[in-house]
Structure 1
C-alpha cells in the first residue's frame, strides 16, 4: 500500500505484439478473459505537455483483484510507451492506482514533486489518466486513473468476468470507447 496513492490496482505491460502477449497470458499463465480494444480513441493525449496523436491497442484482464493491462503503440507519436520501447525494454512499464477523487490525487502528486510524463482522457472527464515520470527505476512508472465514471464500472465488469473463468471466449473485442 502506498502512503501517497493507495493500493496498486493494475500492472501495465508495454509490448510490441499484443496478440502474442494475450496468447501468452491465456495459454501459459491461464489469465483471462481479455477485453481487447484494437484502436483506443482518446479525447486528448499529451506527452510532456505537448499534444500527441498516439495510437494504441489495449487489452485488459484480471488476475484476482489485480488488473493486467497490455499496451501496444501502433504509431511513432511521442509517448512514454514509445520511450520505454525505444530504450530496448518490453514488459512491465507501470503500476496504476485508481481513484474516485482523481483531481485531489493528481494535485497531491504534483505537490510532492511528481512530474507528468504523459496524460490523457478517454470517454469524458471521468476517464482521465496521468503517468508520472519515474522511469529512473524501470517498471515503476506510476499511473493514476479516474474510476469515478463508466471506466470504473467497466473495470469491475472485467474483474467479475475473471472470477471462475472457464477458458471460454478468451478474447472479447470491445467497440469504440
Structure 2
C-alpha cells in the first residue's frame, strides 16, 4: 500500500471555535464545516458509536488542515484528547479500495480503531499506528 495520496492532517482540539480564531490570527482561513459531523455508521474499537465530533477544514496549499472537537459519545478523538491533550491526530490519504487497505493494515499489525460512512457515500478508517509518534493513519475512500 502506498501513501502518495496524502491530502489531510487532522488536529484534535478542545474548543473548535477557539482553534479557528487562533489560526485566523496567523492568516489561516476561512474554515468550512468538515465531514466529521456527517459521519454515520461510526464504529470505535469495533463497537457502534453515536459519537458527535465537530470538524472544520481549511486548504493549505496541497494539504487540508482538519480541526476536530469531540462533543459527545465514544470517539477516538475524545479518547486521545483525554489521554494526550490537543495534538496532531492523523494523516489521511485517499484510497480506491478501503477494504483491501484494511486487510493489508491488519496483516501489518495496525487494526482499525475507528471507521464510518459519510453522507456523500464515502467511507473512512483510522488505523492504530500510535505506538511510534502517537499518530493515526487514516484512509478515505470517495463515493463510487
How far does the alpha carbon of each residue in 1:44-97 deviate from its partner, in whole angstroms, 9 at most, with x for none?
A: 11011101110111101111000000010111x222111111113212111111
Using the size of structure 1 for normalisation, the TM-score is 0.73
Alignment partner, residue 50 of structure 1: 47
Taking the aligned partners of 2:2 and 2:16, their CA distance within structure 1 comes to 31
2:78 equivalent in structure 1? 82
CA distance in 1, matches of 2:36, 2:107: 34
- Scaled by the length of structure 2, the TM-score of the pair is 0.88
Q: Aligned residue for 1:141? A: 136
Distance 1:144 1:43, change over 3 A: same
**1:38: how far off?**
9.9
Count, aligned residues: 144
Query: For the structure 1 residues 38 and 96, does the alpha-carbon distance in structure 2 shift closer, same or farther, using more than 3 Å as the test?
Result: closer
Residue in structure 1 matched with residue 10 of structure 2 by the alignment? 12
Contact 2:12 2:81 in 1 (8 A): yes
Structure with the higher strand share, 1 or 2: 2
Structure 2: runs of 5 or more not aligned: none
Q: Which of 1 and 2 has greater Rg?
A: 1
- How far did 1:39 drift? 7.8
Structure 1 runs of 4+ aligned residues shifted over 3 Å read none
Contact 2:102-2:112 within 8 A present in 1 as well:
no
Matched residue SS, 1:145:
strand
Q: Report how far residue 110 of structure 1 moved.
A: 2.4
Aligned CA-pair RMSD: 2.1
Q: Give the corresponding residue for 2:127.
A: 132
Q: Tell me how far apart the structure 1 counterparts of residues 88 and 139 of structure 2 sit (CA, whole Å).
A: 16
Asked whether the 8 Å contact 1:93–1:138 carries over to 2, the reply is no
Deviation at 1:108, TM superposition (A): 2.4
Q: Give the gaps of 5 or more residues in structure 1.
A: 150-177
